[in-house]
Copies of this chain bind each other. A is one copy, B any other.
Amino acid sequence: MRDVALLARVSNKTVSNVVNAHPHVHPATRARVQQAIDELGYRPNLSARGLRSGRTGVIGLAVPELRQPYFAELADAVIAAAEARNLSVILGQAGADRAHEMNVLAHGLRQTDGLLFSPERLGTEDRDLLHDVEYPLVMLGERIFGGPTDHVTMHNVAGARAAVEHLLGLGRRRIAVVGAHPDHRTGQLRPSDLRVQGYREALVAAGLPLDAGLERAVAPWHPENGADATRELLASGVEFDGIFALNDTLGIGILRALGEAGCRVPDDVAVIGFDNIANGQFTLPSLSSVDPGREEIAETAVAMLVERIESGTRTPQTPRLHKAAFHIVARESTGGSGRRA
């Protein structure tokens, strides 16, 4: 920087002003400095800037596991949204490990100005932890809703309800749900609990009975577990003509188990998932789903986090909750077209 200043015959401060696009710099000076920068190939040292300004220009994104397609696609969208604001993203995997998640929450990710956190183990019982957080934080999902923190999430209840209504609209009356939490409780705000709630609301609104035999617990949401639950459902002798998979990963396993058993989809059993991951387009039959608005979630979460960072943590605002718009994507597994739009 000093070299640039000497070459352009200005002070450090003026170089700094040019680099930071400060408004009050004489155009001629700016050009001279810019030329010196180009000539010397000067690049600001971001550690120094970070030390001085207290900002690193890096945000953290903590997810359970990147190999789960939903989180990979979410990370993709978050990175894109961050890059559009000239921010970098450090990615952390908490591995669906409670201790690991508590550790992430306590300190954020190193070297970052703030954190987007999508936990998989922490829940309402950990709400108090949020009060001790001393860095800008935006939660993804509503697992720990009710604390002082901003949340960006999807319409879990309404989306699930719409999914089941979609099946009802096809004339299905015996609709199973696969993926309930083994310890389902209505007070909890886990995605599984909320989506089961939406499922029940849809049935009740349609005047249909709730049947415990149609609610299958699965944890974790992996395809093989979805397949196993479906095999058990088939073996149980319970009749059903539709399945609501609480996410697409389960749905893929469900399609697989139905196919093995010779069930025709959607003729015998219609299936709809949740998340609209890319892969659902290419199963056979292709998987209908609830598109939860991933891009909107990523964009909004990054925007909120940036606001929190720029306003400074010490300005306590009312916690905000944003739920992205969702929509039903009808594919072959509920009688829609399989070819891509």
Contacts and interface: CB of A to CB of B under 8 A. Distances in A.
A109 B82 CA distance: 14
A220 interface: no
Task: Indicate the size class of the contact surface on chain A.
Answer: 35 or more
A26 interface: no
B88 A109 contact: yes
A107 interface: yes
Interface string A28-62: 00000000000000010111101100001110000
Contacts of A79: 66, 91-93
A191 B333 CA distance: 34
B91 A278 contact: no
9 contacts: A47-B50, A50-B111, A58-B90, A66-B72, A69-B279, A72-B72, A89-B90, A224-B281, A227-B282
A46 B107 CA distance: 13
Interface in A51-102: 51, 56-58, 65-67, 69, 72-73, 75-76, 79-80, 83, 88-93
A24 interface: no
Interface stretch (A164-172, A255-263, A266-274, A301-309): A255-263
Interface string A271-299: 00000001101111010000000000000
A107 B43 contact: yes
A282 B283 CA distance: 9
Given A83-B93, A260-B338, 17 more contacts: A43-B107, A46-B110, A47-B48, A58-B90, A66-B66, A66-B72, A66-B75, A66-B76, A67-B72, A72-B72, A80-B93, A88-B90, A90-B91, A252-B282, A256-B286, A279-B279, A283-B284
Interface in A199-241: 223-224, 227
Given A66-B79, A93-B79, A340-B224, A253 B278 contact: no
B223 A281 contact: yes
Contact of A224 (B91, B253, B260, B282): B282
A88 B46 CA distance: 16
Given A109-B88, A340-B224, A283 B281 contact: no
B284 A256 contact: yes
Contacts of A57: 110-111
A256 B283 contact: yes
A159 B282 CA distance: 25
A314 B79 CA distance: 32
Given A256-B282, A340-B224, A90 B93 contact: no
Contact of A260 (B69, B73, B259, B284): B284
Interface in A116-158: none
B282 A111 contact: no
A249 to B, nearest CB: 9
Contacts of A46: 110-111
A248 to B, nearest CB: 11
A242 to B, nearest CB: 19
A224 to B, nearest CB: 6
Interface centre among A47, A88, A223, A259 (most CB of B within 10 A): A47
